[in-house]
A and B are shown apart, each in its own frame.
Chain A
Amino acid sequence: MKLSLRIWRQPDADTPGKMVSYEIDDVSEDASFLEMLDVLNERLIAEGEDPVAFDHDCREGICGACSLMIDGQAHGPQAATTTCQLHMRKFKDGDQIDVEPWRAGAFPVIKDLVVDRTAFDRIIQAGGYISAPTGTAPDAHAVPVPKQDADAAFSAAACIGCGACVAACPNGSGMLFMGAKVAHLGLMPQGQPERHTRVLGMVAAHDEAGFGGCTNTGECAAACPKEIGLDVIGRLNRDFRKAAARAA
């Protein structure tokens, strides 16, 4: 298939960028979106041009490194899919595809489609941990956890920290990410000692990084490749209210 791409090119953080058009022929519909970009980059290198920089790592949908805004949708048009798992058969011959980096003040562009997501690391440092020594894997029944809680914690723990929630949010908010961490750790007995300091610390780090507030539009959950729902934001709000009331 033949495609015309418009890709955001920006040499470095301080130079203004722009959308640049590329025509690409003979794209296999079995190629993943990133493989299609690899093919384009091979050509650009052969022509002596600078290849398009983009983040990628595992290419099996579990690491959270890939991060492309494809035609105005985080990770592209297919639901519950990361960019690396999106295949070209989802597109038609002759399509024009816009590829942009995540847009958020807290995620500055480093180069082309690569953004700096260390703001998420700072949120994790501010509370996304437990202090209980865990050692080797305990027996499954050593600490009883209700099945419902275990399932909900496991679903929240599916968050890969890709940042699609921030990219899709009309307010550039990181609350789905933060909610996933608060739900994942707060539902388990090992997460209880830091439950109050966790939520206050994470919210402070989130705001300090320059993420916006949540308006409950649900764009984040619709974009999340791991289908994390708005219930985690509800839990985040609830934990925050209790912790803030206790701190006051």
Chain B
Amino acid sequence: MSTDLQTRTAAQPGERARAPQGPWRSNIGLKIIMAVSGILLVLFIIAHMAGNLHVFEGREEMNAYAAGLRSFGEPLLPHESFLWIMRIGLIAAALAHIWSAVVLTRRAMVARPVRYASRKPARGESRHAVATMRWGAIVIVLFVVWHLLDLTWRTVNPVKDIHDAYGAVLATFSPERWPVTVFYLLALVALGFHLRHGIWSAVQTISGPNTKWRGRTQAISLAVAVVVVAGFAIVPLAVTFELVS
């Protein structure tokens, strides 16, 4: 190897490895899409959880809240227009989140074509994520399908009147339909683990905090997950144990 002092020049752009696609289709680009759509979904989930608590105010208030979501912005906006803007945004965020997750999962499977014969339990700082994120996601998707059939379209709900949200909630979580409540609670556990890792992971992907702030983000993430799971779980538990009737 020559030890002569030479002027070095940067590699020309043409000599560099060329991206197979634009930066937003790269692993980090897809992660940013997943993180931003995930944060939007978290905001929706927090609003949904808070809205559910109207069930403790009784039939009138709960149904008025549900009707209010449809008439929000009237008479300035047409009926249900605000609701549909929110729904379209929500569907777009969910599709972007799932699409980026599927592409990245497939790339990850290609990146490890041969598995290790010997495996040890995960020991990283977010070790629970290895086992819970992808399987939990499948549970959450299955739950959302059931949830739409149950409380949005009422296909599997005994209360068909779309304006009686209170009645539908009471009917679906009635004590004799306990498997529905159990499935709901299981999905919440999956959601809790998903949020516990997902929120701080999204912040790490978007803003890359330093070590001190990463720790704080992880703590906030866990707190949000606990509050969301508790806020959602209290409704079916209260109905099943007939504290709300």
- Contact call A212/B206, Cβ cutoff below 8 A: no
List of A residues within 8 angstroms of B118 by Cβ: 6, 69, 71-72, 98, 100
**Hey, what's the 0/1 contact readout for B109-147 against A, CB within 8 Å counting as 1?**
011111111111011111101100100000000000000
B2 contacts A by Cβ under 8 Å = no
**Hey, what's the 0/1 contact readout for A175-208 against B, CB within 8 Å counting as 1?**
1000000000000000001100100110111111
Residue of A nearest to B20 (CB): A208
List of B residues within 8 angstroms of A231 by Cβ: 208-211, 214
**Hey, what's the 0/1 contact readout for A209-248 against B, CB within 8 Å counting as 1?**
0111111111111100000011101111110110110011
Q: Which residues of A line the B interface, CB within 8 A?
A: 6, 8, 19, 69, 71-73, 98, 100, 103-106, 122, 125-127, 129, 131, 133, 135, 170-173, 175, 193-194, 197, 200-201, 203-208, 210-222, 229-231, 233-238, 240-241, 243-244, 247-248
List of A residues within 8 angstroms of B18 by Cβ: 204, 208
- Contact call B23/A221, Cβ cutoff below 8 A: no
Label chain A's interface by main secondary structure.
mixed
B205 contacts A by Cβ under 8 Å = yes
Residue of B nearest to A172 (CB): B111
Smallest CB–CB gap between B25 and chain A, Å?
9
- CA of A229 to CA of B208 in the docked complex: distance in angstroms? 12
- Contact call A171/B112, Cβ cutoff below 8 A: yes
List of A residues within 8 angstroms of B211 by Cβ: 229-231
Smallest CB–CB gap between B39 and chain A, Å?
14
- Contact call A98/B207, Cβ cutoff below 8 A: no
- Contact call A105/B23, Cβ cutoff below 8 A: no
- Count contacts on B: residues with CB < 8 A to the other chain: 56
Q: Which of A6, A206, A217 makes the CB contact (< 8 A) with B122?
A: A217
- CA of A100 to CA of B118 in the docked complex: distance in angstroms? 8
B243 contacts A by Cβ under 8 Å = no
Smallest CB–CB gap between A226 and chain B, Å?
15
B159 contacts A by Cβ under 8 Å = no
- Contact call B124/A221, Cβ cutoff below 8 A: yes
- Contact call A205/B108, Cβ cutoff below 8 A: no
Q: Interface segment, B6-14, B49-57, B61-69, B78-86?
A: B6-14
A204 touching B19 in the complex, CB below 8 Å, given contacts A129-B10, A214-B31, A237-B204: yes
List of A residues within 8 angstroms of B7 by Cβ: 133
- CA of A129 to CA of B119 in the docked complex: distance in angstroms? 36
List of B residues within 8 angstroms of A8 by Cβ: 117
